[in-house]
Amino acid sequence: MESNRVPVRAGLWKEKAGPDGTPRLIGSECLDCEELFFPVQDSGICTFCQSRNLKETVFSRKGTIYSYTVVMQRPPVYYQGEVPYAIGFVELPEGIRIETLFVDCEFEDLRIGMEVEMVFRTLHTDTEGREVVTYMFRPVSAGGEGGPKA
Ligand SMILES: [Zn+2]
């Protein structure tokens, strides 16, 4: 990643973590109760069974839309990206739901259960002129192999 681009938060994903060499979201898996967490549990403790027997796990880059909503108004503080935007949860094959923004689509085309894949996009530019990058999900049909459609 170029030096003028920074992740929105450290530790959400890992470069080349996927079997195909692509970046993947990472989290924690409890080896005792099999609960999954995203992002990584910094405490090192499973919040379900209090086990400290956690290991880092790599998630799939494709999943399905579990829920979503289209937000028309700018929220007060943390979000500095474009408005309107679509936000919701993607359910991954591992059985975890991850909060995400949805991109590269007409929001009215979004559907519960639609297959989506992870991409990286600039969320906003920070006060030092750096592009703040985060993961987002887009419909698999949106770009195919050739990238996002115009
Ligand atoms: Zn546990």
105-149 pLDDT tens trace: 999 999 999 999 999 999 889 999 999 999 999 999 755 554 444
- Give me ligand 1 centre to Cα 39, in Å: 15
- Give me ligand 1 centre to Cα 54, in Å: 8
- Give pTM, 2 decimals: 0.86
Question: Rg for the chain (alpha carbons), in Å?
Answer: 16
pLDDT digit string (tens) for 88-97? 999 999 999 9
Classify strands 85-91 and 62-71 as parallel, antiparallel or unpaired: antiparallel
So what's the pLDDT on residue 102?
96
- Give me ligand 1 centre to Cα 71, in Å: 34
Residues 6+ apart with CB under 8 A from 133: 1, 5, 6, 7, 8, 120, 121, 122, 123
- Give me ligand 1 centre to Cα 61, in Å: 24
Give percent helix, percent strand, percent coil of the chain, each to the nearest 5: 5, 40, 55
Residue type at position 89? F
- Give me ligand 1 centre to Cα 37, in Å: 10
d(CA 68, CA 16): 28
